[in-house]
Amino acid sequence: MPTNKGGEMGDGVCPACGDREIQRYQNCPEVFECCACDAVFGTCNLSESYAIVFPSWVKQEPAPEETFYFDFECLGSEGVTRRHGWADRKSRCIVQIG
């Protein structure tokens, strides 16, 4: 029985597909990865998020199945910045914002 409390990001549901099978993303304690669709989401600092999804646009638009959803709340010098959209699996560059 999953015990999910509260409505914060990382509470156990993927924001892209609603799957509950998520795991911690590498060594970021508050970033999670969906086992079903590979979405990456959570809270981290801006430079960490740039390592996961590069802050540049993809050169050639990939097929939809080659992309993954990302949604970060990033803590930086300007407060909280939200970065969300779709990125290319191979290059980890941005395909679409929002």
Q: Which residues bind Zn ion (CB under 5 A)?
A: 14, 16-17, 19, 34, 36-37, 39
Half-sphere exposure of residue 69: CA atoms within 13 angstroms, side-chain side: 16
Residue with tokens 């996961």: 52
Rounded least distance, CB 22 to Zn ion, Å: 8
Rounded least distance, CB 42 to Zn ion, Å: 13
Q: How far apart are CA 20 and CA 42, in angstroms?
A: 14
| For Zn ion, the closer CB: 56 or 89 | 89
Rounded least distance, CB 78 to Zn ion, Å: 29
Q: How far apart are CA 28 and CA 47, in angstroms?
A: 12
Q: DSSP character for 18? A: -
